Amino acid sequence: MKISYYETAEELSSSYVPETFNYGVALRDGHKFFLKKIRKLPSRDEDSSCSCQGNAAGDIYLNRRLSYYKSLAQCRNGNIMIVHDFFKYGSSYYAVSDYISGKALSFDGIVSLKTAEKYFLTASVLYSYAFLNFKHVVHFNVKTANIMAIPLNSGGVAARIINFDYGFSENSEPEIIDGDRAYISPECYLKMQGMPVILSCKSDIFSLGIVLHEIWTGAKPGLTAGSDNGNCISAALCHGQTPVLSKNLPGIMRGIISGMLIPAPEKRISAAAAHALLVRHAGSMLN
């Protein structure tokens, strides 16, 4: 099947949210790529009067994504899945990304890694987000499922950050205020409640704190009170609770994750500072 300049061997498969994305492998000029079909356009409030199938809404969406992916391309050296091409074909939009040939570990496989391998993986993740933060690129979909852990032939496990469909640059607004409630930041939660909150790379840092806690312990942080907040740590924090970290965390990781899970975004540690701390305290395990 031909889609613009790309050839696919078969129909694109549905995602776990079938009305939103389809996926597949595509070829162009002898090179293999990952092709994603966007079936449902996210839209901002000011664009809600436009039909998603109309040229006006489509052009706005296309231009925004192209601008964002141009910024993302500047993070090429940061273990980031770069979007090489983004285009409209027929009535649908397509994103063309790196094809990753290595087999990623499952979540259980990540949790079962040896301590030295977890340090290596953590350093890779922090390095990637330091790159994104430096270029003011917000991922806005940080969760364990969007960090591929790929074993290296030379030893160790490297991270690859994927799925930038909802990302935005810090000098702009996201297409849609949404996300997995188990990972969203307090400011994202408040934004979802209609509060006039500014979102930034610091939102990714909070989500990353939850991810790193999962990598090291197999579970998300606990809370000081046992009330049910729909599996949303941020909702609990906004209502006065405090995150409780596992006693099994190494001291350096406890310090880093604690710094990431501070409710006030301006007080959170940066990915670059966290990476520097990790290298300083666990450098011998990263060689």
Q: Tell me, what's the pLDDT at 227?
A: 55
CA dihedral 253, 259, 263, 266 (to 10 degrees): -150
Q: Tell me, what's the pLDDT at 49?
A: 36
The helix/strand count (H/E) of the chain reads as 8, 13
Q: What are the pLDDT tens digits along the chain (287 aa)?
A: 899 999 997 778 876 555 678 989 999 999 999 999 987 776 554 443 334 455 665 688 899 999 999 999 999 877 999 999 999 998 889 999 999 887 899 999 999 999 999 999 999 999 999 999 999 999 999 999 999 999 988 778 989 999 999 999 998 989 888 778 899 999 999 999 999 999 999 999 999 999 999 999 999 999 887 655 557 899 999 988 999 999 999 999 999 999 999 999 999 999 999 999 999 998 777 66
CA distances from 82 to 7, 38, 167, 184 (A): 20, 17, 12, 23
Q: Tell me, what's the pLDDT at 47?
A: 45
CA angle 96, 133, 99 (to 5 degrees): 20
d(CA 193, CA 241): 18
**164 Cβ contact partners less than 8 Å away, ≥ 6 residues apart:** 68, 69, 72, 81, 83, 139, 141
- Structural domains of the chain, with CATH: 2-98 (3.30.200.20), 107-286 (1.10.510.10)
Per the CB < 8 A criterion, the answer to whether 165 and 178 are in contact is no
User: What global pTM score does this model have?
Assistant: 0.90
Give strand pairing partners of 22.
14, 37
